[in-house]
Amino acid sequence: MRAVFCSCVRPLFVLALAAGATAQEPSSPPVSEDVQRLEAELAALRQEFAARLGALEAQLAALQAPVAAPAPPPAEAPAPVAPTAPAPAPNYSAPAGSSKVFNPDMAVIGNFLGAAGKNDSPNAPPSLEMSEAEASFQAIVDPYARADFFLTFGPDEVGVEEGFITFPTAPGGLLLKVGKMRDAFGKVNAMHSHVLPWTDRPLVVDNLVGGEDGLADAGVSISRLIQNRFLFLEATGQVYQGNSAIFAAPERKDLAYVGHLRAYRDLAESSNLDFGGSFAYGHNGATDDATTRLWGADLTFRWRPLRRAIYRRFIARTELVWSRREGEADTANAFGWFGAAEYQFARRWFAGARYDRSERADDPSLTDEGGSLLLTWWPSEFSQIRGQFRRTDYADRPTANELLFQFLFSIGAHGAHPF
């Protein structure tokens, strides 16, 4: 661009000089003086030309610049300083020079599972499997909202585990979410696989709440705090399309509904109690108007001494689920629950146990029962290795004794610690 510009301008400039010289000839002083004067003029013109060309090039560069690199945002203005204050401090805020600053926080979490031992169940995991890679993208959308995407890549499917926008300050003190979400039914259903304290999901989740995929659907969620003196209370109401692992909507109008009430109370500085009640309703697709209703209760006790928070903690949790599923001919009422505990006994070590018992949603006469022992090691906040011995007494299959193990590893942005 610059070379073309110069080669066009130069001949014009030479022509103009020649014309100027011709016009001055009639009243000319002696030739040598003329030549000297012309040389001086030429030198002056050269200088002026170079200056103008420089200015033009600078303008051209300025015009082209925004395409390549946006102007850096203005530095943060220092706070007003009081009269008695010392000299203003230099600004140490982080530099923000490129468009990358608006990229969302990204992270990828790998969940590798292994299993040994015999299990005839169709849900039994294979010997070695890259069970899931979850990519998360999270950022603030605008002054009113933020967005969270969790894409999962499994051995044979890719999907949006969650993808929703949150309006944290909707009118009326409401927290509004719109998108695809894991339903707020109990505690375990809302958890992603990598934050579970086990390598698997409890039997009651497999039998009654849709297993790994669980209740997750496209919909709208609103929740509100109920202010009072005694308890933290949060009520959540959700409306979904009605298609998930449990629900299947025959028609557009057949929406699914979820309600959740969470109560929480600090017992002391280092211990607290968290309890919830949940309800879910939707069509199940068995017939045009067959529905499934789920009721859930959950209770979590946590102990974590503040001075030794990174070395010791204890969590006990239980979740109970009642399912009422209408079929073609009759209605099945099934119940299941689990109870589990984890204890952190060193900075990097956790031990845990779980008891499972659940009837089957479509045939409550079949009851599966199981128990697990777990040991988890955390090399750092960003990876963990877990072993789980699991014994399952199936109602209609031989008892399975399995050794499950898991490698979890995460790269990218530092996410929030699960609570």
The nearer residue to other proteins, 273 or 332, going by C-beta atoms, is: 273
- Which part of the chain contacts other proteins (CB under 8 A), choosing from 140-148, 205-213, 320-328, 350-358? 140-148
Query: Distances in Å between the alpha carbon of 319 and those of 185, 237, 297?
Result: 11, 20, 6
Tokens at 239, concatenated: 């409306």
Among 32, 99, 227, 365, binds other proteins (CB under 8 A): 227
Instruction: Report the chain's C-alpha Rg in angstroms.
Output: 35
What does the angle CA 231 – CA 234 – CA 236 come to, to the nearest 5 degrees? 160
Q: Phi-psi bin for 400: left (phi > 0), alpha (psi -120 to 50), beta?
A: beta
Among 192, 293, 348, 391, binds other proteins (CB under 8 A): 348
Among 29, 90, 122, 155, binds other proteins (CB under 8 A): 90
Amino acid at 229: R
Site string for other proteins, 150-189 (x = CB under 8 A): ----------------x-xx---xxx--------------
Query: From CA 247, how far away is CA 185, in angstroms rounded?
Result: 13
Q: What are phi and psi of 49, to 5 degrees?
A: -60, -45
The nearer residue to other proteins, 257 or 303, going by C-beta atoms, is: 303
Amino acid at 80: P
Q: Does 87 bind other proteins (CB under 8 A)?
A: no
Among 23, 63, 94, 268, binds other proteins (CB under 8 A): 94
250-283 b/e (C-beta count within 10 Å ≥ 16 → b): eeeebbbbbebbbeeeeeeebebebbbebebbbb
65-84 positions binding other proteins, by CB under 8 A: 76, 78-84
Cα 57 vs. chain centroid, distance in angstroms? 46
Within 10 A of 332 (CB to CB), how many other CB atoms are there? 17
The nearer residue to other proteins, 212 or 234, going by C-beta atoms, is: 234
Q: What is the DSSP string of 36-78?
A: HHHHHHHHHHHHHHHHHHHHHHHHHHHHHHHHHSPPPPPPPPP
Number of chain positions touching other proteins (CB under 8 A): 56
Query: From CA 163, how far away is CA 149, in angstroms rounded?
Result: 4
Q: Nearest approach, Cβ of 257 to other proteins (angstroms)?
A: 22
Among 143, 156, 252, 329, binds other proteins (CB under 8 A): 143
Q: Does 376 bind other proteins (CB under 8 A)?
A: no
- Which part of the chain contacts other proteins (CB under 8 A), choosing from 61-69, 110-118, 180-188, 269-277? 269-277
Q: Does 140 bind other proteins (CB under 8 A)?
A: yes
Q: Nearest approach, Cβ of 146 to other proteins (angstroms)?
A: 7
The nearer residue to other proteins, 26 or 80, going by C-beta atoms, is: 80
Q: Contact positions toward other proteins, by CB under 8 A? A: 76, 78-86, 89-94, 140, 143, 146, 166, 168-169, 173-175, 224-225, 227, 232, 234, 262, 264-266, 269, 272, 274, 302, 304, 306-311, 347-348, 380-382, 411, 414-417, 419
